[in-house]
Amino acid sequence: MTAHETLKILHILGTVLIFGTGIGTAFFLLMAYRTRDLDAIRVTTRHVVIADWLFTAPAVIAQPITGALLMRALGMPRIRHGSRQSRLSTC
């Protein structure tokens, strides 16, 4: 497996982690809120925060890093915000 393939896999896994954790935690929070049981909501919210720290935060940090490394591996120019190079051409 090449470095490019490894970066692509890591980038895709990060996306899946962000999306999957978001959907899963939203579902469990919704189910807890529907019970109107404050203890269930408290426990579920605590678990959602733990899941966000364990899964979502590292994936969010890894996404721009793997994205930048993929851009470099493909030979794409570095984008600088505010410069003419970063604006989309309308021609």
Q: Give residue-wise pLDDT tens across range 7-64.
A: 999 999 999 999 999 999 999 999 999 999 999 999 999 999 999 999 999 999 999 9
Cβ atoms of 24 and 69 within 8 Å: the answer is no
- Which residues, including other chains, have CB under 8 Å from residue 52's CB and lie 6 or more apart? 21, 25
Average pLDDT over residues 65-78: 87
Integer-rounded Cα Rg, in Å, for the chain is: 19
pLDDT of the residue at 41: 95
Name the token pair of 66.
Answer: 């793997």
Cβ atoms of 56 and 18 within 8 Å: the answer is yes
> Which whole-number Å values give the CA distances from 59 to 55, 64, 89, in the listed order?
6, 9, 31
**pTM reported for the whole predicted model:** 0.71
Environment class of 10 (CB within 10 Å of its CB; exposed 0-12, middle 13-18, buried 19+)? middle
